[in-house]
Amino acid sequence: MSDKHTLFIADLHLAADRPDITAAFLRFLRQQAVQADALYILGDLFEVWIGDDNPEPLLDTVATALATLSTQVPVYFIHGNRDFILRQAYASRAGMQLLPQQQVIDLYGTPTLIMHGDSLCTLDIAYQKFRKWWNQPWWQWLLLKTPLSYRQSLAAKARRKSAAHKARYKQQQQPQIMDVTPDEVPRVMAEAGVLKLIHGHTHRPAVHQLEVNGNAAQRYVLGDWYSQSSYLQVSADNWQLHFDTLT
C-alpha cells in the first residue's frame, strides 16, 4: 500500500447498539485511512443524526478518531439521507470538511463525480417527496430548534418507517425501486462532464459499466458496513472495491 491512493466509504450506519461496526471503523481509520492521500465519507456515516448537540458518547468517540486522522489525512464528508442535518459544529470537532451534495473531484487526473446516491433513486417517489421536504434549509433550521428529546422520538419513528418502507418494496417484489434509475445515471454524469461516478446509499456494492455520450464510463457503488467493512481504493491506475470482516 505504498502507492498514492484515496479512500471512499459510505453507509457505515454507526449506532450505539452496533459496537462491532464502530470498532471496525476505528480500526480502518488507524490501519488503512492513515496511509491514504484523503478519505471521503459519502454519507450515512451514522444510522441517525438528531443534531450536533446529541450527548451520545459514540459521537465523541468517532469525532476524536476522525480528528486524529485529519491531522495527517484530509477527511471530506458528503451528507447521506440519515445524517443530513450534521452541521459545521460536529464537522469541526471531527476535523471533517463538509462538501456539497454533489462534487466533481480530480482523482489522479480523472475527473470524478461523488455523491451519496439517494438523488439517483428517482423511481422511489415516496422517498423523493420526503427528501424534497427535509432538504429545505428553513425546515432543517426549525427542526434543530426543537428539544433534543423531541428529535430523539422523531428519529425513532423515522427508523421504523424506513424499515417498513423497505419491507413493503421487498414484499411487492420491486426492490429495483430502491436502486438507482438507469436513465438518471448517464444524464447526471454527462451534466457533470465525467466518465466516473462514485456513490453509496443503495447498499449494492458493484462496478457498473455504462456509456455516457458514447464514451465508456464506470459507476462505482460503495458497500454498507452492516455485515462487513467495505471501501473503495483509488490510485492513478487501479480502482478497487475492498471488503473485510467486521471482527
Shortest distance in whole angstroms from residue 193 CB to Mn ion: 25
For the chain, the first-to-last Cα distance in angstroms comes to 21
Tell me the C-alpha distance between 122 and 187, whole Å: 12
Binding mask 132-171 for Mn ion (x = CB under 5 A): ----------------------------------------
Tell me the C-alpha distance between 40 and 232, whole Å: 10
Interaction of residue 205 with Mn ion, rule CB under 5 A: no
CB 158 within 8 A of CB 48: yes
| Nearest in space to 63 (alpha carbons), one of 49, 118, 201, 221 | 49
Interaction of residue 223 with Mn ion, rule CB under 5 A: no
Interaction of residue 95 with Mn ion, rule CB under 5 A: no
Shortest distance in whole angstroms from residue 116 CB to Mn ion: 6
Q: Between 133 and 247, whose beta carbon lies closer to Mn ion?
A: 133
Interaction of residue 44 with Mn ion, rule CB under 5 A: yes
In the list 80, 95, 205, 223, the residue contacting Mn ion (rule: CB under 5 A) is 80
Tell me the C-alpha distance between 10 and 114, whole Å: 11
Cβ atoms within 10 Å, residue 231? 23
Interaction of residue 119 with Mn ion, rule CB under 5 A: no
Summarize as ranges the residues that interact with Mn ion (CB under 5 A).
44, 80-81, 201
